[in-house]
Amino acid sequence: MILIADGGSTKADWIAINKDKKEEFRARTLGLNPAVVPEEELHNRIINMFQLINIKDDVTEIHFYGAGCGTPKPIEILKKILESIFNNAKVFIAEDMLAAVYAATGKNPAMVCILGTGSNSCYFDGEEMQMLVPSLGYILMDEASGNYFGKKLIVDYYYGKMPKAIAQKFNEEFNLEADYIKKNIYKEPNPNMYLASFAKFMFDFKDEKYIKRIIKKGFQEFFKYRILPYDINDETKIYFIGSIAHYFRDILEKIARKNNLQITDVIQRPIDNLLEYHRNNIN
């Protein structure tokens, strides 16, 4: 049995395939970002998914692509946890950016971007990913991501920059007590996922000028720092992965055109494409 996982900060999608590369089942756990989730919590989120635990002794390979897996230390943490649970498996861990590449373009050159709970980008030349700047995560970077917009909404609400009618709805939907917000940001696991939870508010008000304005500004910032520094042109294929890109595709495409670029496709959930890539490339 082979497990393939696309592990974001909010959720992780798992697919099990048998020796004939046929799908056995799918499962979803909470996010497994080892850069922000404590080791014990990572372990618990996996063992609490009975579908995975029921076949743990039958798993021979795990291909895990995850948020927060772009540097050695988090990879080491997650690899140790997976090996302790799936005793008979060889564990391969790579960052979610590589999963995005495989899901979007396979082995063809393209610019590939992630706009979900977090954000990132790379240029794939057909063999290797080229990343001009490493991601420093939700506090310092993650432009135009769910947590980026969540922070923007909270700050605008507190500084009185959010229109009154929208602010009232925002207050009705979320607990906006200062102590509650600070507890979730500074003391609870997954602060990036908590911040991104506020971004769903934008989906219901996407036609409001205020919401459109902050989305446009966020997307332009992403293009400025995460796309335009690469040596690309209007013929370069550009793919976006993630819910933020999916739900606000119309605005994203306008910002792309403003920068003389064109988006090739937007993929909300890459797991199906990732499965197909592995079917074609696992011996």
255 within some domain: no
| Predicted model pTM | 0.87
Confirm if 124 and 105 have CB atoms less than 8 A apart: yes
pLDDT at 101: 94
Task: Give me the mean pLDDT over the 107-132 stretch.
Answer: 93
Name the DSSP class of 57: G
CB 107 within 8 A of CB 128: no
Cα separation of 250 and 259, whole Å? 15
CB 103 within 8 A of CB 8: no
Q: Assess if residue 119 is contained within a domain.
A: no
What is the per-residue pLDDT for 112?
97
Give the list of residues 6+ apart from residue 225 with CB closer than 8 angstroms, or none. 133, 143
Is 237 in contact with 110 (CB distance < 8 Å)?
Answer: yes
Which CATH number characterizes residue 27's domain? Answer: 3.30.420.40
Identify the residue whose tokens are 């997954």: 190
What is the total count of domains within the chain?
A: 1
What's the rounded mean pLDDT across residues 187-198? 91
Which residue pairs, CB below 8 angstroms and at least 24 apart, start in 12-17? Answer: 12/45, 12/66, 13/269, 13/271, 14/49, 14/51, 14/52, 15/271, 15/275, 16/51, 16/55, 16/59, 17/275, 17/278, 17/279
Let me know if residue 91 belongs to a domain: yes
| Domain annotation covers residue 137 | no
Kindly state whether residue 58 falls inside one of the protein's structural domains.
Answer: yes
> Burial level of 12, CB count in 10 A (0-12/13-18/19+)?
buried
d(CA 216, CA 211) in angstroms, rounded, equals 9
For residue 41, tell me if it sits in a domain. Answer: yes
* Per-residue pLDDT at 162: 97
Residue 78 pLDDT: 95
Number of other CB atoms surrounding residue 113 within 10 Å: 26
How many whole angstroms separate alpha carbon 46 and alpha carbon 91? 15
**203-243 residue pLDDT tens:** 989 899 999 999 999 999 999 999 999 999 999 999 999 99
Structure tokens that stand for 210 in this block: 């205020």
| pLDDT at 21 (0 to 100) | 87
> Domain for residue 275, yes or no?
yes
3-state secondary structure of 145: coil
**SS3 state of residue 227:** coil
pLDDT confidence bin for 283, thresholds 50/70/90: low
Whole domain around residue 52: which residue ranges? Answer: 2-100+271-281
In a domain, 276, yes or no: yes
| 135-185 confidence digits (pLDDT tens) | 888 889 999 999 999 999 999 999 999 999 999 999 999 999 999 999 999
Residue pLDDT, tens place only, 63-76: 999 988 888 999 99
Say yes or no to pLDDT of 119 above 90. yes
